[in-house]
């Protein structure tokens, strides 16, 4: 039985983690996620992706039964690098990825959400990196991405204590963009994804490239990259029409289906 469910409608791919009861991540789940990500990446109809979980859990992290079986440094390193490589792919995807955090989001689950471009949480969700309570540290990118999102001090507190935060606290510290009632989470995520999907495909891809890539390089290099991407977009027919439409107080011409699909 697959551990993930994938549906695609209205240019939005919805990927649901389905590994009851806690949607934990093991090697089999990681492999399935890799395959589905490749499928979504190469599907030109898909303009945005939503990742969520089934039941009360978004994802409770790595499968502890599998961690117990890691008895060598080589095997443990391989497992960490497998997860990091997958989450790097999500972060670098040329399509926006939204995490709809429907419930418990711990360890590798939060690391997965951190790799997404936008995060929304249900009101009852809890988020944390509890690895230190097991004598470990986050291994799928948590020590690197969390400080970039919430700042070094708050990230250190969460990682060093292993304590979780509520959805409201996550919103307050900038870990999630929205907190919505549980029953409204997917509708809100789909509405946001649909608004993004309506935008110019090339512009969205360029914006993602500029934002995500700029986090890992000096400001001067990031500014140069932004200027280069901006200049390329300026001469596209899509941008020319959109600017003229604004000046002429009309709607821009629809993006032609070859570009969308």
Sign of CA dihedral 95, 96, 100, 101: positive
Annotation marks residue 131 as catalytic:
yes
Q: Residue 190: how many CB atoms within 10 A of its CB?
A: 19
- Phi, psi (5° rounding) for residue 255? -65, 130
- Rounded distance between C-alpha atoms, residue 162 and residue 131, angstroms: 6
Which is catalytic among the residues 34, 78, 91, 131? Answer: 131
Write the CB contacts of 261 (distance below 8 Å, at least 6 apart in sequence): 11, 44, 45
Annotation marks residue 248 as catalytic:
no
CB of 170 closer than 8 Å to CB of 212: no
Half-sphere exposure of 53 (CA within 13 A, CB side): 30
Which is catalytic among the residues 32, 91, 111, 190? Answer: 111
3-state DSSP assignment of residue 51: strand
CB of 13 closer than 8 Å to CB of 50: yes
Active site residues: 111, 131
């Amino acid at each position: 039985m697959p551990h993930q469910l994938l549906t695609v409608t209205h240019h939005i791919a919805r990927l649901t983690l389905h590994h009851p009861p806690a949607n934990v991540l093991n090697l089999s789940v990681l492999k399935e996620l890799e395959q589905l990500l490749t499928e979504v990446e190469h599907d030109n109809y898909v303009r945005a992706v939503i990742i969520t979980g089934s039941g009360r859990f978004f994802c409770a992290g790595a499968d502890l039964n599998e961690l117990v079986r890691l008895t060598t440094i080589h095997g443990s390193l391989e497992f960490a690098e497998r997860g990091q490589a997958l989450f790097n792919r999500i972060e670098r995807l040329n399509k926006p990825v939204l995490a709809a955090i429907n419930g418990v989001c711990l360890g590798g689950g939060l690391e997965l959400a951190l790799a997404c471009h936008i995060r929304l949480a249900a009101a009852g969700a809890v988020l944390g990196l509890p690895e230190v309570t097991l004598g470990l540290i986050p291994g799928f990118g948590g020590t690197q991405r969390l400080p970039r999102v919430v700042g070094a001090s708050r990230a250190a507190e969460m990682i060093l204590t292993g304590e979780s935060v509520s959805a409201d606290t996550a919103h307050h510290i900038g870990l999630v963009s929205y907190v919505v009632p549980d029953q409204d989470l997917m509708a809100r995520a789909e509405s946001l994804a649909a608004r993004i999907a309506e935008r110019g495909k090339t512009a969205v891809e360029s914006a993602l490239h500029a934002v995500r890539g700029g986090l890992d390089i000096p400001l001067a290099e990031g500014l140069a990259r932004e200027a280069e991407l901006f200049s390329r977009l300026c001469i596209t027919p899509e941008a020319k029409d959109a600017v003229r439409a604004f000046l002429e107080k009309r709607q821009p011409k629809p993006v032609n289906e070859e570009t969308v699909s």
